Chain A
C-alpha cells in the first residue's frame, strides 16, 4: 500500500517549498551553527579566563625587614607567585587588583559591582610570624560561579603559608586532565548536546506548525482527496528532516572543528541517531498537532513539550548537576537518550551504553510514529 513514488513526489514538493522559505532554512541550518558559535565563544578555554580579585592589604607594617612583610608575599601568592619567586601554576585563575587601604572595602566592592575580594587585616604579618591565629576575610557571592574558584584558590594559598610556617612541604600535587584519552574541551561535550537540540527543535516545531496550519487551511482535506496516505505524508516529512538534520550535523561539526578545534569522533554509530532522532520528533510534532484545534494552541503545547525537554535532557548542561528529582524526569525524556547516546558515541566511545540508548530511542520512535499516523485525522467524523 505504501508507495515510494508518492513519498518521493511529496518529498520533492515539500523540500522545494522548504528551501524557498528563507526563514525555515535559517531555523534549520543557520540557527544551530549560531548556537555553536555562541556557546563555543562563551565557554572556550582561550578566553582571558581570569577572575579579577579585589584585594585590600591593611597591614602596612612597619616591617623591620622586607622578609617580615608576609602580607605582601601573601598578595603575590594570590597573584600566582610563590614566596620563593616560582610560579605556582601555569593556569592561575585569579588576578589581584589592589585596593588602597584608605578605602571602605565593602563599599568599594559594591561600587565596582564586584563580588570577589579579600581583606588582609593590619598586623597580619606580625601575627603570622608570631604563630598567632589571624583571619583574612574573603568576600564572595555564593550564587556566582567565580566564588568557588576564588575561595578554593585563597584556601590553597593560605594552606601554602600555613605549611611554610611550620616548614612543611607539599606532598600531594594535582595535575588536571579529562576522561578522554585526548585533551577534551568544553566544546567537545557541547556539540553532542547541540546536535540533540537541532534534532529536537527543527522537526518538532515544524511538524507542530505544519500539522495545525494544514488542518486550519484545510490542506489536509485537500490531500486526503488524493491517493496520498497519512503515513506516506509523514514519511516524506521524516525523510526531509533527516536530510536537514544530517546537513545541520555536518555544518555544526565543521564549525566546531574549524572555529574551536573541537575533537569529534565520526563513526557509523552516529547514523542510527541521526535517522531515529528526526523520525521521533517529527512524529511527536505531528501528534501534538493532532490534539490541538488551532495553530495558536498548537504552538503553546509544542513549547510546553519542547522547552522543558530541551533544558532537562542534558542538551545545554549535563544532567549530573541537577537535583535527583530532575534527573528522574530527564530519564523519561526521549531526547535524554539521544543526547546521552551521542555523547557515548562521540565523546566516550562507550558503545555498550550507546546500544541501550538506541534501543530506548528506537522503541519510543516506533510507538510515537504509529500513534501519530493512527490518531491524526485528515477528514472529519
Chain B
C-alpha cells in the first residue's frame, strides 16, 4: 500500500527553485526520512504534501487525495507538527487536546494521548512555561488527536537537548510500532539513521540519494579504504610504487581497496619507503561521509554525484 506518491514536484519562489522536480513514494507503515541541510527544500516539500502550500508542477497524491484541493478532507486523516511548533501561550496540553478533539468532533481521552507522548507530568502546565521538548511533545499529542494514519513531523527535534531528542525518538518509535506511516524531516543524520526505514537526501531542491541507509552508503559511499597517517611524500611514494589509487588530505593517506590484498601492497610500499608513518586502519563511508559528499556542492545538475578521483593529490 502506498501512502504518498510524489512525481516531478516543482515549487519555485521567483528565481529560487525551492523544490525542483522530486519524485518518491512512501509506503504504508514506514518511516520515511527527508534529510537535507537547511534550505534544501524539505519544508516546502512537506508543506505541499500537507496541503499548506500550492505546488507549481508535478503530481502529489496523499492518501489518494490532492492535498491542495482536498485539504479539508485530508486534514482529518493526517497529523502534523509544523517546524517550530507553537501553540496558545495560556493553554495547557490537556486543554489543547480537548480543544482539538472538539474541533475534530471526536471523543479523545487526553490522558491516553498524554501518556503516549510521555507528557502526563506536564498536563496542566501553560504552554508558555513548557520546555522545548515538552512543547514538541504537545505538538505530537495534537497531531495524534484525530488518530491519523499518516503523520508529518517537520524537524521535530531541532533545537532540543540530547535527552529531549531521545525522548521524542521513543515516542516516534512507539507510533511506528502501532502501524502509523511517518514522514520525518530532519537535518540530524543520526536521527534519520535511528528512525527511518528509508531516507531521501535533499539538496538544493533535488533528491540526491534515496533508499535505506545501507543502500545509500553502498551506492554513494566509497568501499572499504585503507587510511595511513603519514606525509605527502609517503603518499607519492606509494602511488609511484604500486598500482593503487592514492588520495592525500591533511596528513591522511587514503587508499580505496578493490580487494583486501591491496592493503598489503600499500603497507609493503610504505615500509619500503623508509619514511615515518603512524596509525593505520581500514574504514567504510558512514552516512555522514555520504551526506557531506552529496550536499557540499558535489552534485551535478541532474542530482547525480560527481565522483571525486583526486581531491588534493597531484599524483607524482
Q: Which residues of A contact B (CB under 8 A)?
A: 3, 5-6, 8-10, 12-14, 16-18, 20-21, 217-219, 221-222, 224-228, 379-381
A-B contacts besides A17-B88, A224-B52, 9 pairs, CB < 8 Å: A9-B98, A12-B99, A18-B90, A221-B82, A222-B82, A222-B86, A227-B105, A380-B53, A380-B54
One of B50, B86, B96, B102 near A5 (C-beta < 8 A):
B102
Chain B residues positioned under 8 Å from A3 (CB to CB): 105
Whether A222 touches B85, Cβ cut-off 8 Å, given contacts A16-B95, A20-B126, is yes
- A226→B89 contact, CB < 8 A: no
A380 B105 Cβ-Cβ under 8 A: no
- Contact partners of B89 in chain A: CB under 8 A: 17, 21
Interface positions, chain B 199-219, Cβ under 8 Å from A, are none
Inter-chain CB contacts under 8 Å: number: 77
Proximity string of chain B (255-273) to chain A, C-beta cutoff 8 Å, 1 when within and 0 when not: 0000000000000000000
When C-beta atoms are compared, the residue in chain B nearest to A1 turns out to be: B72
- Residues of chain A within 8 A (CB-CB) of B103 are 6, 9-10, 226-228
B90/A21 in contact, CB under 8 A? yes
Q: How far is the CB of B61 from chain A (nearest CB, A)?
A: 18
Residue among A6, A14, A221 making CB contact with B102, cutoff 8 Å: A6
- The distance in angstroms between the C-alpha atoms of A258 and B72, with both chains bound, is 53
A11 CB to closest chain B CB (Å) equals: 11
User: A227, B86: Cβ atoms under 8 Å?
Assistant: no
Residue of A nearest to B101 (CB): A9
Could you say which residues of chain A place their CB within 8 Å of the CB of B86?
217-219, 222
Roughly how many angstroms separate A63 CA and B102 CA in the complex, as a whole number?
95
Q: Nearest CB to that of A381 among chain B residues?
A: B54
10 contacts between A and B (CB under 8 A): A14-B88, A17-B88, A18-B90, A21-B90, A217-B84, A222-B86, A225-B52, A225-B75, A227-B72, A227-B104
How many residues of B are counted as interface, with CB atoms below 8 angstroms from the partner's CB atoms? Answer: 32
Contact B104 A226 (CB under 8 A): yes
Decide if B283 is an interface residue (CB 8 Å cutoff): no
Q: Which of B65-100 contact A (CB under 8 A)?
A: 71-72, 75-76, 78, 80, 82-91, 95-96, 98-100
Docked Cα-Cα span, A379 to B78, in Å, equals: 16
Selected from B52, B87, B98, the residue in CB contact (under 8 A) with A221 is B52
A10:B50 contact, CB within 8 angstroms: no
- The chain A residue with its CB closest to the CB of B78 is A225
Q: Which residues of A contact B100 (CB under 8 A)?
A: 226
Is B36 part of the binding interface, using a Cβ–Cβ cutoff of 8 Å? no
Q: Is the CB of A227 within 8 A of B53?
A: no
Interface centre among A9, A10, A13, A380 (most CB of B within 10 A): A13
Quick one: which of B47, B52, B83 has the most chain A CB within 10 A? Answer: B52
The 7 closest A-B pairs by CB, nearest first: A9-B102, A17-B90, A20-B90, A226-B103, A217-B86, A379-B52, A13-B99
A379 in contact with B90 (CB, 8 Å): no
In the complex, chain B residues whose CB is within 8 Å of the CB of A13: 88, 91, 95-96, 99
B54 vs chain A, min Cβ distance (A):
5
Q: What are the residues of chain B within 8 A of A6 when measuring CB–CB?
A: 102-103, 105
With a 10 A CB-CB cut-off, give which of B54, B85, B90, B98 has the most chain A CB atoms: B90
Q: Which of A10, A21, A219 contacts B99 (CB 8 A)?
A: A10
Q: Which residue of A lies closest to B102 (CB)?
A: A9
Which residue of chain A has its CB nearest to the CB of B143?
A: A225
Task: Give A3 to B72 CA distance when docked, in angstroms.
Answer: 14
Considering only CB atoms, which chain B residue lies closest to A226 in the complex?
B103
Q: Which residues of B contact A17 (CB under 8 A)?
A: 88-91
Q: Take A5-B105, A6-B103, A380-B52 as given contacts and tell me if A222 and B87 are in contact as well, using a CB distance cutoff of 8 Å.
A: yes
Query: B80 touching A225 by the CB < 8 A rule?
Result: yes
Q: Is B51 an interface residue (CB 8 A)?
A: yes
Query: With the chains together, A34 CA to B77 CA distance in Å?
Result: 50
B131 CB → nearest A CB, Å: 18
- Asked if B51 and A379 make an inter-chain contact with CB atoms under 8 angstroms apart, the answer reads yes
> Which B residues are CB-close (under 8 A) to A14?
88
Please name all residues of chain A whose beta carbon is closer than 8 Å to the beta carbon of B104 when the two chains form the complex: 226-227
| A98 to B293 Cα, complex, angstroms | 96
A364 to B87, CA, bound (A): 33
Docked CA distance A9–B99 (Å): 6
Contact B87 A219 (CB under 8 A): yes
Q: State in angstroms the CA–CA spacing of A9 and B100 once bound together.
A: 9
B252 to chain A, nearest CB (A): 45
Q: With A379-B51, A381-B53 as known contacts, state yes or no: A218 contacts B91, CB within 8 Å.
A: no
Instruction: State the CA gap A379–B103 with chains docked (Å).
Output: 18
Bound-complex Cα distance A222 to B78 (A): 12
In the complex, what distance in Å separates the CA atom of A349 from the CA atom of B297? 78
Q: Which of B35-54 contact A (CB under 8 A)?
A: 47, 50-54
Which chain A residue has the least Cβ–Cβ distance from B85?
Answer: A222
Asked if A16 and B52 sit within 8 Å, CB to CB, the answer is no
Compute how far the CA of A8 lies from the CA of B99 in the bound complex, rounded to whole angstroms.
Answer: 10
Query: Given the complex of chains A and B, what is the CA–CA distance between A44 and B184 in angstroms?
Result: 67
- The answer to whether B76 and A227 have CB atoms under 8 Å apart is yes
* Min CB gap B66→A, angstroms: 14
By a CB distance below 8 angstroms, the chain B residues around A227 are 72, 75-76, 103-105
In the assembled complex, the Cα of A37 lies from the Cα of B118 at a distance in Å of 51
From A12, A219, A225, A226, contact of B50 by CB (8 A)? A225
Query: Considering residues B76, B84, B87, B88, which has the most beta carbons from chain A within 10 angstroms of its beta carbon?
Result: B88
| Chain A proximity mask over B141-163: 1 for CB below 8 Å, otherwise 0 | 00000000000000000000000
Please indicate the chain A residues that have their CB under 8 angstroms from the CB of B91 in the complex. Answer: 13, 16-17
Contacts of B50 in A (CB 8 A): 225
**A-side contacts of B87, CB under 8 Å:** 219, 222
Bound complex: CA A222 to CA B103 (Å): 12
Residues of B within 8 A of A379 (CB): 51-53, 71
Q: How far is the CA of A368 from the CA of B99 in the complex (A)?
A: 28
In the bound complex, what is the Cα–Cα distance between A9 and B103 (angstroms)? 7
What B residues does A12 contact at CB under 8 A?
99
User: In the complex, A277→B76 CA distance in Å?
Assistant: 35
Looking at the assembled complex, report how far the CB atom of B79 sits from the nearest CB atom of chain A, in whole angstroms. 8
Partner of B90 from A9, A16, A224, A381 at Cβ < 8 Å = A16
Min CB gap A102→B, angstroms: 70
Q: Which residue of B lies closest to A8 (CB)?
A: B102
Bound-state Cα–Cα, A104 to B53, Å:
80
Of all chain A residues, the one with the shortest Cβ separation from B74 is A225
Most buried by B among A16, A225, A381: A225
With both beta carbons as reference points, the residue of chain A lying nearest to B95 in the complex is identified as A13
